[in-house]
Structure 1
Amino acid sequence: MKKLLNAAHLYMIVGVVGGLYYRELTKAEHFTGQTQLGVVHTHALALGMLFFLVVLALEKLFSLTASALFGWFFWIYNAGLVITVGMMTLHGTLTVLGHDSGAAISGIAGLGHILLTAGLILLFITIGKRLQAQPQASTAGAATVAHATLQDR
């Protein structure tokens, strides 16, 4: 669980720094056009910080880390997010500085998106497996509560 909180915290820092970088670079270069730098902070905060806070809550409820797939999800998703945000930052910086970004940047960004998608698929599989493992315990607990309630009447 600490790993999830640390990841959320790290992406919060990346998001804030990304927003600051966008503002300061565009101001220093007197740039007023569209650039991907404008959404780097949003991506880091939403796909990083908020996402991992939600996964932290799901971990608390369903013990996601008990699944062997959880580690795969965590590292693949993080790799995808780092690549995606990194390429957005590079592409946006090149745009502000007046340079073209090549096909390699788009290709690497695409790889980041593929890894994000694979990570999300692994997360949903993990959640599904943990939900299947949970009902027996929760059904037994509900039956016990129902039985105790009937006895109290």
Structure 2
Amino acid sequence: MRKILNTAHVYMIIGVLSGLFYRELTKANDFTGDTQLSVVHTHLLALGMLFFLIVLALDKVFDISGEKLFTWFYWVYNAGMVVTVGMMALHGSLTVLGKASGAAISGIAGLGHILLTVGLVLLFITLGKRIPAKAKAKQDA
């Protein structure tokens, strides 16, 4: 459970720093248009910090970290977050700096979204295994 809490904490720190980065980069470049950089902050806080705080609560109730698939979920989901948010930050920064971004950035961001989806599927499979086990243990007691 400590690993889940630490993960949420790291996403909180990076999320807050990304908001600061967005504000300072756009201010330094007198940028007033739309950029993906503006939503990196929100993605990190919602899909990172808040999501892992929910996973922490689920772990407390259902002991999902006791399942083998939980480790797969944890690493696949986090890899998806790193790739997705990294590409959003890169694309957004290039937009602010007035540089073109290629199709490769969108393609890699798509791979990040696929990893996030696979991670979510693994989480639901893990939950599906633990909820019946928890209900059965409660009936037996």
Range of TM-score over shorter length? over 0.9
Matched letter for residue 66 of structure 2: A
Task: Give the superposition deviation at 1:134.
Answer: 1.1
1:4-46 CA deviation, whole Å, 9 max, x = no partner?
0110000001100000000000000000000001000000000
Question: Number of residues paired by the alignment?
Answer: 141
* 2:16 counterpart residue number: 16
* 1:52 counterpart residue number: 52
* 2:31 counterpart residue number: 31
Distance 2:140 2:118 in 1: 35
Deviant stretches of 4+, over 4 Å: none
Task: Give the superposition deviation at 1:126.
Answer: 0.1
Distance 2:138 2:24 in 1: 53
Secondary structure of 2:98's partner?
coil
1:83-115 CA deviation, whole Å, 9 max, x = no partner?
111000000000000011101100100000000
Asked if 1:88 is matched to 2:88, the reply is: yes
* 1:99 counterpart residue number: 99
TM-score by length of 1: 0.91
Unaligned runs of 5+ in 1: 142-153
Task: Give the superposition deviation at 1:66.
Answer: 1.0
Unaligned runs of 5+ in 2: none
Aligned identity (percent) is 70
* 1:6 counterpart residue number: 6
* 1:144 counterpart residue number: none
Distance 2:37 2:66 in 1: 37
Larger radius of gyration: 1
Distance 1:47 1:31 in 2: 26
